[in-house]
Amino acid sequence: MPSCTAADGTEIPYTDSRPGTGTPVIALTTDPVELPVRLITPRLRRAEDVEALREQLQLERLVLLGDASGTRIATDYAARFPSRVGALAVSGADAPAGLDVPVLAGQPDALVPFLQRAVTADWYWDFAVRQTRGESPTYERLSLAVAGDDELLALLTELPEPKRQPNLLFGVVRLLGGPVGDPAAFHDFVVARWAEIAEQMRTRATQTNESGRTALLLPLLAALPQPIALIEVGAAAGLNLYPDRYAFRYGDHTVGAGSPMIECDLTGLTPPDTLPTVVWRAGLDRNPLDVTDAGDMAWLDALIWPEHTDRRDRLRAAVEVARADPPHLVRGDLLDTLPALVERAPAGATVVVFHSAVLYQVPQPARDQFVTLVRSLPAHWISVESSGTLPLDGIPPGPDNLSHNVLALNGTPLAWTHGHGRSLTWFGVTPSEAAQRGK
């Protein structure tokens, strides 16, 4: 059972109804409850324990559910840390008065819409302060506006939970030509066109294909025995299958002479001197995108954040590379299609299976099955996924409060990475040492 460590060193176990999937509600309840939201239920004693749990779960804000006795702790926490509470729901007791946070009291079932809106609001809040702050003022402003917009939150909660994703909503609105620069105009557009937007959000997934992430793979690919047979899981359009054709700049160190030029701020490791030799490349995706299809490319363009003109230029340049030699992409689920692709890799090459920003879209049981599968294959395994998505041991605290991914080779965590590949902060053993460790 997972646990958190209280300030006095006491280990406090908790249950998690849906590990790794979505924003949780922290249930301070005496008896276990079952609700259609992710519930983390700890045995907390006082407000300080709630704060310790929040820090260890790396959550900016909490949605709290209290029952008759848990409400006392929740109320105390909300009074002392109001900026850390997105909402408080109370079952079996009166709503506490005088709190500076949204509060609702009622029977558990009646609290569900309130809790669902609150966790959706927290997703948008987190996207604003941990992902887009300092990266996209437009999306930071928009995401904060949605987090406080009851009408939009009510519409979003009509969708299955994974489909309420901020980047998906914003990408769909941009694809449909809607305004993202003015939150009021955005609100009106979403309300007026909701049926169409909801349909797009149900059928699409975010497929951001960020060639900048190849800068994260390069130190590992260059350190493995050459040549390489490269297999990407969740490849989207396959733009990360060409690390041997692009050029890279790590600070003042340049590798390769191709295009696009991918810049990455690397700390804690000497950058590689050579590009890998890739003799075979293939990818799989449940919905592969076609670099020659204008509609698919419009979707990739809509997913790039408004101010990121460098990423838009890089997308165009990477698409040119892929169009000149289109990638072999197989349509299918990662659990079904990967072994056959590994079998097809040419003899004599070092087979590398990699994936970046994929597993957050895969439900927990399938994620566990995938880890078992990939460890069983005769291949090296590179993962670039958000912290907590994979069961990796020995990850130090992140370099700052922002959201980062973790680069790992064969299950050994090695570095914190920026979501779009702009930085790589090394904390682990060298690439060669990691390659020698078993999977």
Ligand X SMILES: C[S@@+](CC[C@H](N)C(=O)[O-])C[C@H]1O[C@@H](n2cnc3c(N)ncnc32)[C@H](O)[C@@H]1O
Residues near ligand X (CB under 6 A) are 205-210, 213, 234-236, 240, 284-287, 333-334, 356-358, 361-362
Distance between CA 385 and CA 158 in Å, rounded? 28
Name the residue among 175, 239, 169 with its Cα closest to residue 210.
239
350 vs 356 by CB, closer to ligand X:
356
Dihedral sign computed on CA atoms, order 139, 140, 146, 147? positive
Give Cα 35 to chain centroid, integer Å: 24
Nearest distance in Å: CB 369, ligand X: 10
Nearest distance in Å: CB 207, ligand X: 4
Distance between CA 263 and CA 141 in Å, rounded? 27
Instruction: Say if CB 405 and CB 375 are below 8 A apart.
Output: no
Nearest distance in Å: CB 361, ligand X: 4
Amino acid in position 170: F
Radius of gyration of the chain (CA): 23
141 vs 204 by CB, closer to ligand X:
204
112 vs 342 by CB, closer to ligand X:
342
Dihedral sign computed on CA atoms, order 253, 259, 265, 267? negative
56 vs 337 by CB, closer to ligand X:
337
Q: Where are the strands (E) in 77-227, listed by range?
A: 85-90, 103-105
Nearest distance in Å: CB 337, ligand X: 8
Nearest distance in Å: CB 9, ligand X: 40
Q: How far apart are the first and last CA of the chain?
A: 24
Nearest distance in Å: CB 364, ligand X: 12
40 vs 379 by CB, closer to ligand X:
379
54 vs 355 by CB, closer to ligand X:
355
104 vs 335 by CB, closer to ligand X:
335
Give Cα 225 to chain centroid, integer Å: 30
Distance between CA 81 and CA 69 in Å, rounded? 19
117 vs 311 by CB, closer to ligand X:
311
187 vs 286 by CB, closer to ligand X:
286
The tokens describing 278, both together, are: 């890739």
Nearest distance in Å: CB 386, ligand X: 11
Name the residue among 114, 101, 109, 146 with its Cα closest to residue 127.
146
Nearest distance in Å: CB 349, ligand X: 21
Name the residue among 203, 321, 301 with its Cα closest to residue 260.
321
DSSP string, 224-272: SPSSEEEEEES-TT-GGG-TTTSEEEETTEEE-S-SSEEEEEEESSPPP
Nearest distance in Å: CB 252, ligand X: 26
The tokens describing 266, both together, are: 């690397």
Which residue is listed with tokens 């983390």? 40
Residue nearest to ligand X (CB): 234
